[in-house]
Amino acid sequence: MDYEIKTVEDEIEYLKGFGTFVKPKLLLHACCAPCSTYCVDYLYPYFDITIFYYNPNIMPYEEWAKRGKEFEKLLAKYPDVKIVIPDQSNTDFLERVKGYEKCPEGGDRCSICFNMRLSESAKYAKNGFDFFTTTLTVSPHKNAALINEIGQQVALLNGVHYLDSNFKKKNGYLRSIQLCAELGIYRQNYCGCRLD
């Protein structure tokens, strides 16, 4: 299979050339509603978006559920954006990161976590999506190059197309803070895993 690596920006520029068009189907892996705000706002004019809330790293369960409920506020602004919340368990995450519990944010544990979440996203993207990508790159605490490398690897393994992104560019993170304030969306103070 021929595989061309594309960025979100490449695809948007390509789509702009068509004027009126059928929006490609995009599966947007979302770590949380706050990070999704800017990403959805930016992508909405060009893609038919389905949010994929798969994050078994988020603990405790009450925190995961609270973050999931916050999507209602975002979806009220974008009612034709869909959301999928698949079955997931912290056990899956804990088994994968066994031995990496003391790694700091940005270390090997994060790479394992990114791989787990993007692998599940790639598998789900086989259900008729043109592309998938992730909101993870909007965070100033996350390595966009590493996330995109993992995204491309799991895309190839699953025969789907991943769009590289760096949503923190163009003040994406700042805009996400502003949109959260406008929409009244809860902003958590940690990524998700609490292994300390």
Domain at 82, CATH number: 3.40.50.620
| 25: alpha, beta or left? (left if phi > 0; alpha if psi -120 to 50) | beta
pLDDT at residue number 101: 86
Average pLDDT, the chain: 92
pLDDT at residue number 46: 96
* The one-letter amino acid at 44: Y
Instruction: Give the percent of the chain with pLDDT over 90.
Output: 78
Q: Supply the range of the domain harboring residue 126.
A: 6-183
Give the pLDDT mean for 54-66: 92
Q: What is the number of domains present in the chain? A: 1
Q: Is residue 195 part of a domain?
A: no
pLDDT at residue number 196: 47
What pLDDT, in 10s, does the model give residues 62-97? 989 999 999 999 999 999 999 999 999 999 999 999
CA 76 to each of CA 31, 79, 82, 157: distance values in angstroms, whole numbers, following the listed order: 18, 5, 11, 35
Q: Is residue 162 part of a domain?
A: yes
Give the pLDDT mean for 100-129: 94
Q: Is residue 75 part of a domain?
A: yes
Q: Is residue 141 part of a domain?
A: yes
Q: Is residue 114 part of a domain?
A: yes
Name the pTM for this structure: 0.94
> In a 10 Å sphere around its CB, with 0-12 CB exposed, 13-18 middle and 19+ buried, how is residue 66 labelled?
middle
Q: How many helices (H) and strands (E) does the chain have?
A: 8, 6
Give the pLDDT mean for 113-140: 97
Which of 49, 6, 57 has the alpha carbon at shortest distance from 165?
6
What pLDDT, in 10s, does the model give residues 15-31? 888 877 789 999 999 99
Give the pLDDT mean for 189-194: 68
- Written as six digits, the tokens of 78 are 């974008």
Q: Is residue 190 part of a domain?
A: no
Q: Which of residues 4 and 152 earns the better pLDDT score?
A: 152
Place of tokens 């706050």: 34
When mean pLDDT is compared across 21-30, 35-44, 185-194, the lowest value belongs to 185-194
Q: Is residue 189 part of a domain?
A: no
Confidence of residue 1 (pLDDT cuts 50, 70, 90): very low
pLDDT at residue number 188: 84
Q: Is residue 137 part of a domain?
A: yes
